[in-house]
């Protein structure tokens, strides 16, 4: 496989820490993943590498900086499962959840995709443990053991189907003493001589009850002082003397997450502490208030690094224990994001494919000025308290009241005011449609520009509710199908478009004129929907409604006609067929230039120009740092143009460079400014009038560059018309206002 130059990993933090910047450069990506649950840790070249539940990061001891690593840095995947460093080969091994493997060394990344691409291996391909011996890495997986030759950089062999009779058997850890390999499995400890064919299950034996080892699942095995130690949850720690196992009575805990040999000590992670066993089986205990759920230990000189399941990567590197994990969201179980008041809120929750509860209690996260803040009931460090609510589905914001409302698929709604105070609306709230009910499933909430709150409640007859600005409530219904609403959209006529679940009652869209009393249920039979399973809706800047279905895109050009008897949807045509025909469109977003962003179930993201005459881009995991092709939601920050992409594996974002136009030039921003000598990207100028003409001159007034803004953002590649990089100096930005006057709106310093 191809090797990629990767100067950052072993030499310097030459890349900016975009993950924790309020704004990122145009064309840049960043990931928004949880780094609280750290699973594995390794030390290489004065850097500490950590694998969290959904991401990878590194702490550089030389400058005390933490950097999030991802596909934009050259890694093959976003979600790793284990990490280890071979001192003999001086290679860092990163094993990913899908079976892919990266080797990092000498400024390069060597990808080994053999297991990822192996069609003969089905199911979970993640690595549970990495054992290194004689320049070979043994990766314990849920299908067996993968032997990786670090010198040849290839898979040497795979030991699988090691269970009785050759059935599949998962392996949680591997070790070796002298010429014998030992495997921790759900059936106990297996062992075999290395000189045998270890791919043949017949050559593996299991320690039976006469050996003294309880016949239960074994979680870990390790070589400590040429003696095999094993951890058995619910039983304790055992060591192998000859052919018999003996229990270590000094270890009284019964649940263990790792066994690690470090120099002359055995480190045993259990509960909220770490047992340290010496060569005489005497025990010390490492405990600290920062150690909550230790998963792995790393000793480097006199410092201890703990991969913790609650507090992240913690260490006494600077004296007392503290966390070195980067800021991130609480979990990767995200459903959607929503923009409000210069912030992004990420909701953890949603509902199952059959519209039942998932019982997710991860709460929500708010992204502001480059940092995430979490709100839930976990009580974890740095988590803000919030009312209990599982399966958050939706969010809306009343700007006049500065009130954020969140919908829960089972617990009604919670509201947060500008001071951070919470209020709940559920079955106990009198004078509401929910009082006295149960399992209040709110599928969507939407605040209109008149101060009304619209609420979609799944599974009830009166499924659309209106809370008026005076606090009173109204409820609406139409037919059996409208009992199952999923999304609300309000058009320029103030008609409410309600996307319906594709139940046996046909799905489709319920359109209701709540002021005029008209209702219509749009279906394939009465409106020419090409598919009744509508997955997404959006309205563009021209008032056109876009419907994303299980098999392509439909449009409504004049929503005022929807109640006419002959009303039919239209089908945008691209490349001589219906737009995105046979592709499930799960989310639609409209950017500042009225371009259309379509998120799909399996095909990543499609971006089309305003009138669907050009495919501007398609972003997938294969051609971009996108972390998954399964898109759940798209949200565009209107001021910066950053697109937040919710996937089944977490959230990533991309600043494409299109923002909502401004009516004046009071908020024009240039980023980056100043432009440093090593900068090779695009300078963004945002806050301009829509599609404004932009001219850049030097200080003497000589025209250097001219362009047209996309929405409210223009870009400059720091070059003149001849392609030469602009000389150091001050440059002036001019743009036209609504009266056609050319005004100086900004200055750019090029260093």
pLDDT tens digits, one per residue of 341-385: 999 999 999 999 999 999 999 999 999 999 999 999 999 988 999
403-455: per-residue pLDDT in tens? 999 999 999 999 999 999 999 999 999 999 999 999 999 999 999 999 999 99
626-682: per-residue pLDDT in tens? 999 999 999 999 988 999 999 999 999 999 877 776 665 557 888 888 999 988 889
Position 312 confidence tier, pLDDT thresholds 50, 70, 90: very high
| Residues 75-103, mean pLDDT to the nearest whole number | 95
Does 65 lie in the same domain as 7?
yes
The rounded distance, in Å, linking the Cα atoms of 396 and 405 is 5
Evaluate whether residue 691 is within a structural domain: yes
CB 200 within 8 A of CB 214: no
Does 126 lie in the same domain as 93?
yes
Does 82 lie in the same domain as 123?
yes
**Last residue of one domain, picked from the residues 287, 308, 326:** 287
Q: Residue 742's domain spans which residues?
A: 669-750
Mean pLDDT value across the chain: 92
192-221: per-residue pLDDT in tens? 999 999 999 999 999 999 999 999 999 999
Q: What is the pLDDT of residue 474?
A: 97
Does 174 lie in the same domain as 109?
no
Does 148 lie in the same domain as 16?
yes
Evaluate whether residue 723 is within a structural domain: yes
Q: What is the pLDDT of residue 20?
A: 54
The rounded distance, in Å, linking the Cα atoms of 424 and 388 is 9
Does 41 lie in the same domain as 26?
yes
Evaluate whether residue 468 is within a structural domain: no
Cα torsion angle, 561, 563, 567, 568, sign? positive
Neighbours of 292 (CB within 10 A): 19
Tokens of 678: 């090593």
Here the CATH number for the domain that contains residue 711 is 2.60.40.3110
Evaluate whether residue 227 is within a structural domain: yes
- Is the predicted pLDDT of residue 183 greater than 80, yes or no? yes
Sequence-distant (6+) residues with CB within 8 A of 528 are 568, 569
**Last residue of one domain, picked from the residues 135, 159, 183:** 159
Tell the residue number behind the tokens 């109640």, with chain if given. Answer: 563
Evaluate whether residue 25 is within a structural domain: yes
Does 242 lie in the same domain as 97?
no
Evaluate whether residue 540 is within a structural domain: no
Does 201 lie in the same domain as 105?
no
Does 123 lie in the same domain as 52?
yes
**Last residue of one domain, picked from the residues 246, 272, 287:** 287
Tokens of 120: 């003969």
Number of domains in the chain: 3
Here the CATH number for the domain that contains residue 43 is 2.130.10.10
The rounded distance, in Å, linking the Cα atoms of 193 and 176 is 10
The rounded distance, in Å, linking the Cα atoms of 598 and 617 is 11
Evaluate whether residue 346 is within a structural domain: no
Position 301 confidence tier, pLDDT thresholds 50, 70, 90: confident
Tell me phi and psi for residue 444, to 5 degrees: -160, 150
**DSSP character for 682?**
B
Evaluate whether residue 720 is within a structural domain: yes
Does 170 lie in the same domain as 152?
no
Rounded to 10 degrees, what is the CA torsion of 626, 628, 632, 638? -10
Closest CA to 450 of 431, 470, 465: 470
Q: What is the pLDDT of residue 155?
A: 97
Does 133 lie in the same domain as 275?
no
Sequence-distant (6+) residues with CB within 8 A of 371 are 20, 327
Q: What is the pLDDT of residue 661?
A: 67
Does 109 lie in the same domain as 60?
yes
């Amino acid at each position: 496989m191809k090797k990629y130059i990767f100067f950052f990993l072993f030499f310097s933090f030459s890349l900016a820490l975009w993950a924790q910047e309020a704004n990122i450069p145009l064309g840049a990506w960043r990931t928004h993943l949880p780094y609280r649950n750290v699973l594995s840790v390794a030390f290489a070249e004065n850097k500490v590498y950590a694998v969290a539940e959904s991401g990878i990061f590194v702490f550089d001891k030389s400058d005390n900086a933490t950097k999030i690593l991802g596909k934009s840095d050259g890694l093959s995947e976003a979600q790793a499962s284990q990490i280890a460093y071979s001192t003999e080969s001086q290679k860092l091994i990163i094993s990913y959840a899908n079976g892919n493997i990266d080797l990092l060394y000498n400024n390069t990344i060597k990808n080994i995709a053999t297991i990822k691409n192996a069609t003969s291996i089905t199911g979970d391909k993640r690595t549970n443990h990495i054992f290194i011996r004689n320049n070979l890495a043994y990766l314990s997986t849920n299908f067996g053991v993968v032997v990786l030759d670090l010198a040849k950089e290839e898979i040497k062999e795979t030991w699988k189907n090691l269970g009785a009779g050759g059935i599949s058997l998962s392996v949680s850890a591997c070790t070796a003493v002298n010429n014998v390999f030992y495997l921790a499995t759900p059936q106990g400890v297996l062992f075999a001589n290395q000189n045998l064919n270890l791919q043949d299950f017949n050559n593996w034996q299991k320690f039976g009850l006469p050996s003294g080892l309880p016949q239960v699942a074994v979680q870990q095995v390790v070589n400590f002082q040429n003696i095999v130690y094993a951890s058995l949850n619910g039983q304790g720690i055992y060591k192998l003397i000859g052919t018999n196992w003996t229990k270590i009575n000094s270890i009284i805990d019964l649940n263990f997450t790792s066994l690690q040999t470090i120099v002359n000590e055995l480190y045993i992670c259990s509960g909220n502490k770490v047992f340290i066993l010496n060569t005489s089986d005497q025990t010390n205990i490492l405990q600290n208030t920062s150690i909550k759920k230790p998963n792995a230990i790393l000793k480097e000189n006199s410092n201890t690094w703990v991969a913790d399941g609650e507090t992240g990567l913690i260490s006494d590197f600077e004296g007392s224990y503290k966390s070195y994990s980067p800021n991130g969201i609480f979990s990767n179980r995200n459903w959607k994001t929503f923009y409000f008041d210069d912030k992004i809120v990420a909701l953890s929750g949603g509902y199952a494919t059959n519209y039942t509860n998932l019982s997710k209690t991860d709460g929500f996260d708010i992204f502001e000025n480059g940092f995430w803040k979490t709100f839930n009931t976990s009580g974890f460090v740095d988590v803000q308290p919030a009312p209990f609510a599982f399966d958050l589905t939706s969010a809306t914001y009343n700007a006049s009241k500065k009130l954020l409302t969140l919908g829960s698929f089972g617990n009604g709604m919670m509201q947060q005011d500008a001071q951070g105070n919470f209020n709940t609306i559920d079955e106990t709230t009198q004078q509401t449609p929910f009082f006295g009910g149960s399992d209040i499933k709110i599928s969507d909430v939407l605040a209109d520009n008149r101060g009304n709150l619209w609420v979609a409640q799944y599974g009830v007859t009166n499924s659309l509710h209106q809370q008026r600005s005076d606090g009173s409530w109204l409820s609406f219904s139409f037919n059996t199908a409208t009992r199952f609403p999923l999304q609300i959209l309000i058009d320029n006529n103030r008609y409410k478009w309600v996307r319906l679940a594709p139940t046996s009652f046909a799905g489709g869209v319920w359109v209701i004129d709540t002021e005029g009393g008209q209702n219509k249920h749009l279906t394939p039979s009465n409106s020419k929907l090409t598919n009744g399973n509508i997955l997404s809706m959006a309205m563009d800047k021209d008032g056109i409604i876009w419907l994303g279905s299980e098999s392509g895109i439909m449009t409504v050009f004049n929503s005022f006609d929807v109640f006419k008897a002959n009303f039919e949807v239209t089908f945008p045509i691209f490349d001589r067929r219906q737009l995105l025909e046979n592709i499930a469109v799960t989310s639609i977003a409209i950017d500042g230039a009225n371009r259309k962003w379509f998120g799909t179930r399996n095909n990543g993201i499609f971006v089309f120009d305003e009138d669907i005459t050009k495919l501007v881009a398609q972003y997938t995991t294969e051609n971009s740092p996108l972390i998954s092709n399964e898109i759940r939601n798209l949200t565009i920050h209107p001021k910066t143009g950053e697109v937040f992409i919710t996937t089944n594996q977490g959230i990533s974002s991309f600043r494409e460079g299109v923002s909502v136009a401004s009516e004046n030039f009071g908020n024009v921003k240039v980023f980056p400014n100043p432009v440093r000598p090593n900068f090779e990207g695009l300078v963004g100028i945002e806050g301009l009038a829509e599609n404004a003409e932009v001219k850049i001159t030097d200080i003497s007034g000589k025209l250097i560059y001219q362009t047209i803004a996309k929405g409210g953002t223009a870009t400059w590649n720091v070059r003149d018309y001849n392609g030469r990089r602009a000389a150091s100096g001050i440059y002036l930005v001019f743009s036209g206002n609504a009266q056609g006057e050319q005004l100086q709106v900004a200055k750019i310093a090029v260093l």
